[in-house]
A and B are shown apart, each in its own frame.
Chain A
Amino acid sequence: MFYDISLYICLAIFIIGLIYKISTWLSRKTTLETKDIPTSKRLSSAIKGIVLTILSVKVLTLIKVFFLDIILQRKVFNEDFFRWLTHILIYVAFMLLLLMHALDKFITAPLFADYSATLNPFLFLRDLFGALVIIGICMAIYRRFILNPPRLKTNPMDTYAIIILAIIMASGIILEGTKIGSYSIYKEMVTDYAGLEEGEEEYKALTAFWVDKFGTVAPGLKAPFKDEIIEEGKELHEMSCSSCHSRPQWAFTGYIVASLFKGAALGLDKAGVHTILWYIHFLACFIGMAYLPFSKFLHIITSPLSLLANSVMDKGESDPANIATRQALEFDACTHCGACTSRCSMGIIIEEIENVNILPSEKIQSLKGVVSKKEIGEKDFKLILDGVYLCSNCHRCTDVCPAGINLEDLWFNMREDMFQKDYPEFSLLSPLSFYRGLMRESISQEDYKRPLIQAREAIASKCDLMKTPDKVVSLTPSDREFQDSLLLSDQASTFQGCFGCQTCTNACPVVASYENPKEVLGMLPHQIMYTAGLGIRDLAFGSNMLWDCLTCYQCQEQCPQGVHVTDVLYELKNLAIKNVYKD
């Protein structure tokens, strides 16, 4: 009764959760162009897309992906054998347990006429699968908590997943162990199947046999027994019990537990511990199921979907509505396994730039908050945006993602989407923007240019002097702190040698590109070197010249005074960005 009620409640939560999740996949917006497409249109596009794909030759791709990437986990295999083994153990063995053991009423029993949980091969297989899951869990714990590879982050969801699995498995095995030794279950069984009651001679013989061979712990009965009694018990056993019972040693994990608990078995049985464990076991399973749509276990459903969808969808070809839907789904397909982060080209810089959002595995979690319209403060939002932009677009995260998530596209779309909030992003003013430039035709002119202008303006707005070009600059109150920070850097400190000969400016191809360079660029290279020498920060930071420097090193190569002009410009850019972040 309680079992049924809790099952149905949890099943209902599971189904409602799933429906809720599906609705978010159809409503969350990741791409600018699909901002205005309503959910109903996305649903119909999705159905149409799925039907058309299944009816086309693309179905062959789907089948291939299903076997290689979903069943065999090819991507994980290629990346890291240890992780592949861990995952394959947990997922294959758990699936088999689910089908053979948990759903035995619906699957195993109808398939095998003489099925009984206590009969081989089922008895042995249940324990084998259980043991494999346990080994997998131990390997996962080992990797996350002991091996702890650099930059692999473990969040509460990861811990929850391991814990709930561990509870299900441990309670199941201990339950089995206590049942093997349980005298009360034994007594009931004998009444039911042999029609014998305590006190009868035959009862004693059968019990002796079970104590001797089946691990039963009965009060007042201890090996060794006389051979005749065992013989008699064996006959009775073969008559009434053996059709359903293989030797419990086959249930090796449970049997080990039973052996360990042998001394306490009678007490445990009286206290009804096996009943308590039974409750723990099935409730843990039900809770795991109810919570599945909200936990990382949802990836059991979403990762295959993501792999399948990505194998047949192409940017530019597929319906944009479906791309938006796929991207919304991808947030739930992430298992936070860390494969992307371990291969991230930028991962290492987190040691210098403290922002976890640089790491793709963390970035996707934060972005999930952004698309689900969670309240995110300005500071956090900027950090996420910075993290998303600190990416060299090397595509490695996407190549290795075992869930097939097109992370690079996701970053690209989310970046553009986040720019709509009009917070300046300074990394735009670096070669990291090269990829964005190559993709410019997929963004509207206006959306493409605005963030670039904003970033420059945000820096310039911190430089009051630049706004009033006619103002006479007093030369005395120079910014010592600024000058010192430049002097700290070996390469930049050379600016002190500048005597303003203009060789750098004359060598500069950027200066040469303009008829009236001062108007466009603000200060020219030699002037910047000179102001740096005077410690006038504002003028140096506010010049467009800084951000329009090609870093071609013509100036530095030609400087007669050995001033590292390009390196000083680099240093000034770093300082300017630090300066705006400071406020």
Chain B
Amino acid sequence: MLFENVLDVLAPAVLDVRHVGMRYESREVMRDIHFALTAGDFVSIVGPSGCGKTTLLRAMAGLTEPTSGSVRFKDREIREPQSEVAIVFQDYNRALLPWRTVRGNIALALEARRIARSEHPARIADLLRRVGLTRHADHYPAQLSGGLQQRVQIARALAQEPQVLLMDEPFGALDAITRQRLQDELLEIWSATSTTMVFITHDLEEAIYLGNRIIVLEANPGRVAADIRVDLARPRHQLTTREDSRFLAIRHQLFGLLSAE
């Protein structure tokens, strides 16, 4: 507890989740979830399905109001979506406008920010390059594979130039190879920007590979079961990082936490 407060002083919180609880009628979905995100953090959130991960992320995005507690961005209470906080939904095939091309979907975020049309081409070109979509700029979402569609959603979120990027199992529906490639691309984007990342996954290895902190939730109601530091060297490497003894130790720890239920 004392340690937490010291950290707060050293690196001020960007996003502050304060004793958040959530009920749907008589059903308690989250109870007293409390943690703070420091600027530049890469936080993975893991937990069994139904433990409230999506609900928590939506509260952090300002899409749902918690029934108790609050979420603050810097000194502002989040009650509705904030321009500094972007969200990437799990279901990329539903989150893109099917009538707009890749370029048009990315432009949406620029339009939302009222950025001058004349600036769009250069910004879009840069975003396309960062997520490796340059060749697909004029394709419609339906013409793209799942991995490419999720890249479009990530590019659109980056176009918001957010300080916090929230992602809900973004790679959950992708095949293993595509998934690993996107993990590395995401880490590159993260190291090139100072964006604070919140990454929900049910894949323990993915959580360790990406994060420098893992928040473990347990279910019924959703609570924080553990908050783990990940001190693995960066840049991470798909083979060597996953073979690192500390990686395996954390994996054991997470496995124990999640199968204890």
Bound pair: A and B? no
Residues of A within 8 A of B (CB): none
Residues of B within 8 A of A (CB): none
